[in-house]
A = this chain, B = another copy of it.
Amino acid sequence: MSGRRALTRNQALVLEVLTRADEPLSAYAILDRLRDEGLRAPLQVYRALDKLLETGEVHRLDSLKAFVACSHPHDHPCTGLVAFAICESCARVFEFSDSAIEARFAAWAVEKAFLTKSTTLEISGICAACRSSADGSNPSD
């Protein structure tokens, strides 16, 4: 019915926690939420995350040392370069792509003969909703 590969139990648990969360979670935060499911050691989470990162079902935000579920449907893999905008106020993450940005990076790489393996694009700031609620409180809480 789709190209989605089977997940192991731990992978499914981790992905479910991330999908439900409305903010990025650290590996240890994920672990805390899975104690009741029997998970006890960081490695159980990191192993699941490794697989989910490989397939693009999860992304790591280097600037936060935290993880988010990919916001795209995952019948197909996440293709192309992805950027993340992270709200410092409500912690929500906005995932987007821009082919022009992708093209400029590609052009730089060609010019410098640099072989690109992976790209990290993260912008940090305040999202529209948090800006319009001028007190800085989280508009959704």
Chain B residues contacting A100 (CB-CB under 8 Å) are: 100, 104
Task: Classify chain A's interface size.
Answer: 20 to 34
**Contact between B115 and A131 (Cβ–Cβ < 8 Å)?**
yes
Contact B124 A108 (CB under 8 A): no
Q: Verify if A123 is at the interface (C-beta below 8 Å from B).
A: yes
Please give the count of copies of this chain that the complex contains: 2
Q: Is B120 a contact of A122 with CB atoms below 8 Å?
A: yes
In the assembled complex, the Cα of A119 lies from the Cα of B84 at a distance in Å of 10
A62-B62, A98-B104, A108-B98 known; A118+B125 contact, CB < 8 A = yes
From B119, B122, B126, contact of A114 by CB (8 A): B126
**A124–B113 contact, CB under 8 A?**
no
- Say yes or no: B101 contacts A114, CB within 8 Å: no
Residue in A63, A114, A117, A124 whose Cβ sees the most chain B Cβ within 10 Å: A114
A76 to B63, CA, bound (A): 26
Q: How far is the CA of A124 from the CA of B101 in the complex (A)?
A: 16
Q: A63 vs B63: C-alpha distance in the bound complex, in angstroms?
A: 8
B63 with A88: CB separation less than 8 A: no
> Which 8 A-B pairs have CB atoms at the shortest separation, nearest pair first?
A113-B128, A62-B62, A117-B125, A115-B126, A116-B125, A120-B122, A119-B123, A115-B125
